[in-house]
Amino acid sequence: MNKKLKLHTLLLVVPIIAVFITNSQGQDHPSLATSPYSEIPLGEVKPRGWLLHQLEIMRDGTTGHLDEVHNKIKNDNGWLGGEGDGWEETPYWLDGAVPLAFLLDDPVLKAKVMQYINWTLDHQRASGYFGPITKAERENGVEITSENCEAGEDWWPKMVMLKVLQQYYLATQDKRVLPFMTNYFNYQLKTIKTCTIGKWTEWAKSRGIENVMMAQWLYQITGDASLLELAEIMEGQSFQWSEWLGNRDWVMQAAANQTGERWMERHAVNVAMALKAPAINYQRTKDEKYLESIKTGWNDLMTLHGLPMGIFSGDEDLHGNDPSQGVELCAIVESMFSLEKTIAISGDVQYMDALERMTFNALPTQTTDDYNMKQYFQVANQVQVSRGVFDFSLPFDREMNNVFGLKSGYTCCTSNMHQGWTKFTEHLWYATPDGGLAALIFSPNQLKTKIGNEEVVINEVTNYPFEEDIVFEFELKNKVKFPMQLRIPSWCKKAIVTLNGKELRQETGGQVLTIDRTWENKDKLKLHLPMEAFTSNWAKNSRTVERGPLVYALKLGEKWEKANQEVEGEYYSIFPTEDWNFGLLEKVVKEPGVNLNVSTKPVAKDFIWNQEKAPIEIKASAKKIPGWVAENGVAHQPVTARDNIFKGKVEEKIEEITLIPYGCTKVRIVAFPVVR
């Protein structure tokens, strides 16, 4: 404690009234590319229905209490002035906990996260530098200035904290935030050529787009042209993701090379963050080549490394498209955030569809019902959850990457998983440049915002993605004219839009439609999205059953076994209690509408992504493949012929199997061989 008090006297806190340039000064500044969508302020979207319950589970679980159960954050935290963790995990946690606090308007969680925000804002150095007390400051009483930037520490964790502060500002308009950021970016501009982005670690160099994004966000508010200069320099010093994503050599090399050479360039979480790099660079340069780069990169990633649940493999490296490969939880939540940003800048329906698929399938399966444990790597065809090496490119000696635990695998995901559902909820709505609103991703929520001076409340009443109807109920004091945009998912053959019970139009999928009218109180706009069952083709001619936005996997009985590992603590293994080695009958693939039988039940008020609460089941005909057995816990995919049929031994008996939403499973088969 004495060390902290002594050091506090050495830190020259920047006054809140720090000078920064504003647009009101009338200076001409280059504009960023006009975006088709902009973000709704944090707190204007409120979750409802099953989504609210999901966020409440997170609040009651680790998202709301990680600082009490995770020693890295709990003990003498560096982001509170202590000597403990000052690296990425506390900002990672706050990046999900801060939006959760405001989405739920929870005073206890707000008070908890405000400790870290206030300490950070109140302890910016006079030079503009911020963050935990450095070794040079603590041990030698050094003052960090632009002349001795080497006394500072890595840029990377601060990039995450900048995102935290941005969200906090969007929720509160706290006047301390903009001067704080301005002073820090001024410090960076003065020092970045000496203390380059990669001076301390390659993590900052590989993730520099996070810093570029935040500088450009502030520029949109202040008009300070030096921010664009900083963004240009930092982009130049960082990994050249925009070039790589647009250059097919990179993704092919990532598929072929699994050595230690240049592994940071194929690290799945780096790639997930980098997905938004071309969009961010397009925003600054207005060069259309960047939008082409992300389209090429995303399509190539999903072609060479894509898995049925909507995410590319990454265990930790990109690792091909075989369904026995794994994916890190951090890669999922970071890909979601990148897609949310890319949607706003590009307006491309492809990324809206991709975000939906990833969120409703890949995300929910990788945490426990109470949101207290996570899986570092999930596997698509996951026939057991246990300790082992599996087919991962990062098999820790302790073999804990596949089990469910608080600390299993690296604890980066323990801290970072919280941004997935929270930022998804934030981005259910966007604003449009013409003063309108856009509902591009669907889940139950309430939007309370202003159009001009008029308050607009829209209740999005739905059980999507489990049901076909999304109803928008308007609560207005006065009539309000504005355009409203709705996405029609690409999987939908024909959507039906009705207003107050009367059909307005029918539209095919893969587009965003606009309804521009004067809205009245109690208007009801309904979007009906018929969901038909079909199959899709994946690695080695395997087939996955889909319906609407959901991917379906084999329902298997689960046997949970609790154990303890000396270093990584308590964990669960999960084993199937039923046979899993089935092939889908060819007739299911040829005529899925006739041969897949769908049954539904109401979505429970206390819905959880698990077998018990799964509201949809699909029955299908299948036969067992006796030679398809697990080897060291891995169900290697049987090879099929060009005609899509597995030619090995197949049992004669036809059996009926049950499929449920992938996100409700822990052990499963999702990519099936096809048999006759």
Structure tokens given for 474: 């308007």
The average confidence (pLDDT) of the chain is: 95
Cβ proximity of 243 and 293 under 8 Å: yes
Cβ proximity of 489 and 353 under 8 Å: yes
The pLDDT assigned to 28 comes to 63
Report residue 13's pLDDT band, with 50, 70 and 90 as the boundaries.
very low
The pLDDT assigned to 9 comes to 35
Contacts of 2 (CB under 8 A, 6+ apart): none
Structure tokens given for 198: 């990669």
d(CA 213, CA 208): 9
Instruction: Please state whether beta strands 582-585 and 674-675 pair in parallel, antiparallel, or not at all (unpaired).
Output: parallel
Report residue 25's pLDDT band, with 50, 70 and 90 as the boundaries.
very low
**Rounded to whole angstroms, what are the CA distances from 94 to 274, 410, 418, 527, 561?**
21, 18, 8, 35, 31
The pLDDT assigned to 11 comes to 39
d(CA 661, CA 365): 10
Report residue 18's pLDDT band, with 50, 70 and 90 as the boundaries.
very low
φ and ψ at residue 484, rounded to 5 degrees: -125, 130
pLDDT tens-digit profile of 114-154? 999 999 999 999 999 999 999 999 999 999 999 999 999 99
Structure tokens given for 444: 């139950």
Q: Does the pLDDT value for residue 167 go beyond 70?
A: yes
DSSP 338-401: HHHHHHHHH--HHHHHHHHHHHHHTTGGGB-TTSS-EESEEESS-S-B-SS-TT-S---TT--S
Contacts of 360 (CB under 8 A, 6+ apart): 465, 549, 550, 661, 663
Rounded to an integer, the average pLDDT of 484-512 is 98
Compute how many other C-beta atoms are within 10 angstroms of the C-beta atom of residue 656: 9
Contacts of 372 (CB under 8 A, 6+ apart): 61, 62, 69, 406
Rounded to an integer, the average pLDDT of 537-545 is 97
Rounded to an integer, the average pLDDT of 77-82 is 98
Rounded to an integer, the average pLDDT of 459-472 is 98
Rounded to an integer, the average pLDDT of 462-473 is 98
| Residue showing tokens 């690695």 | 539
The H or E element that residue 329 is part of is helix 329-346
Contacts of 625 (CB under 8 A, 6+ apart): 581, 582, 583, 638, 646, 648, 649, 650, 651, 673, 675
Separation of CA 274 from chain center: 13
Rounded to an integer, the average pLDDT of 7-25 is 37
DSSP conformation class of 468: S
The pLDDT assigned to 257 comes to 85
Report percent pLDDT > 90 for the chain: 93
DSSP 400-434: -SSSEESSSS-THHHHHTTHHHHHHHHTTEEE-TT
| Residue showing tokens 């990519």 | 671
The pLDDT assigned to 58 comes to 98
Region of residue 452 (phi > 0: left; psi between -120 and 50: alpha; otherwise: beta)? left
d(CA 356, CA 531): 15
Structure tokens given for 509: 């999928």
pLDDT tens-digit profile of 577-591? 999 999 999 999 999
Q: Does the pLDDT value for residue 111 go beyond 90?
A: yes
Cβ proximity of 63 and 97 under 8 Å: yes
Compute how many other C-beta atoms are within 10 angstroms of the C-beta atom of residue 557: 10
pLDDT tens-digit profile of 182-239? 999 999 999 999 999 999 999 999 999 999 999 999 999 999 999 999 999 999 999 9
**Amino acid sitting at position 496:** I
pLDDT tens-digit profile of 265-322? 999 999 999 999 999 999 999 999 999 999 999 999 999 999 999 999 999 999 999 9
